């Protein structure tokens, strides 16, 4: 998703809503045998400030699908996470994203939000005991 800051300024649309989606790529997922099975849906808003910096805030949402990290059964989970980013015009100041030539490409910040929100494991159910779990026989030697 690309925002043309100059056009938005000319149209005096200094703030507004953002709804778009991004195709996932496998490099975003750090869990073995798991992939993102949906588009990455982004809902949020933007604001342009006097110095032409642009701030976005909202949420990213995506579906993880694959093998449960403990028992390898199939598992899936929707993940929703915050998406906040600030873009400054010109050279990056090290803390914020930067943009040149009046257009802001939001995709990298969305991918970063996905990576930051990536859980360490995907579980088929919250209390999955894994394949090595053996129920303990009840103690009958009282
Ligand atoms: Zn499991």
Q: What's the CA-to-centroid distance between 125 and ligand 1, angstroms?
A: 6
Backbone angles phi and psi of 7, in degrees to 5: -65, -40
> How many angstroms does the Cα of residue 79 sit away from the middle of ligand 1?
17
Domain of 77 in residue numbering reads as 2-117
Task: Evaluate whether residue 106 is within a structural domain.
Answer: yes
Instruction: Judge whether 49 lies within some domain.
Output: yes
Residue partners of 21: CB distance under 8 A and separation at least 6:
39, 40, 41, 42
Count up the domains in the chain and report the number.
Answer: 1
Q: In this structure, is residue 129 part of a structural domain?
A: no
The model's pTM is 0.87
CB atoms within 10 A of CB 56: 23
The residue with tokens 């598992």 is 75
In a domain, 126, yes or no: no
Is residue 85 a part of any domain in this protein? yes
pLDDT for 131 equals: 77
CA of 52 to the centre of ligand 1 (A): 49
Strand-strand pairing, 74-89 and 97-99: parallel
Condensed to tens digits (0 to 9), the pLDDT of residues 40-78 reads 999 999 999 999 999 999 999 999 999 999 999 999 999
Ligand 1 ion: residues within 5 Å (CB): 68, 70-71, 73, 124, 128
124 assigned to some structural domain:
no
- Residue 127, domain member (yes or no): no
């Amino acid at each position: 998703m690309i925002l043309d800051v100059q056009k938005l300024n000319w149209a005096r649309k200094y703030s507004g809503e953002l709804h778009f989606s991004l195709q996932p790529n496998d490099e975003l997922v750090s869990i073995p045998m798991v992939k993102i099975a949906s588009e990455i849906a982004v809902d949020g808003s933007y604001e342009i400030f006097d110095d032409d910096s642009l701030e976005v805030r909202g949420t990213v949402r995506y579906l993880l699908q694959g093998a449960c990290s403990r028992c390898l059964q199939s598992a899936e989970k929707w993940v929703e996470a915050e998406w906040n980013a600030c873009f400054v015009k010109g050279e990056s100041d090290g803390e914020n994203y930067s943009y040149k030539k009046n257009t802001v490409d939001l995709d990298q910040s969305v991918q970063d939000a996905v990576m930051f929100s990536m859980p360490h494991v995907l579980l088929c159910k919250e209390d999955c005991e894994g394949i090595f779990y053996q129920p303990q026989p009840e103690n009958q030697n009282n």
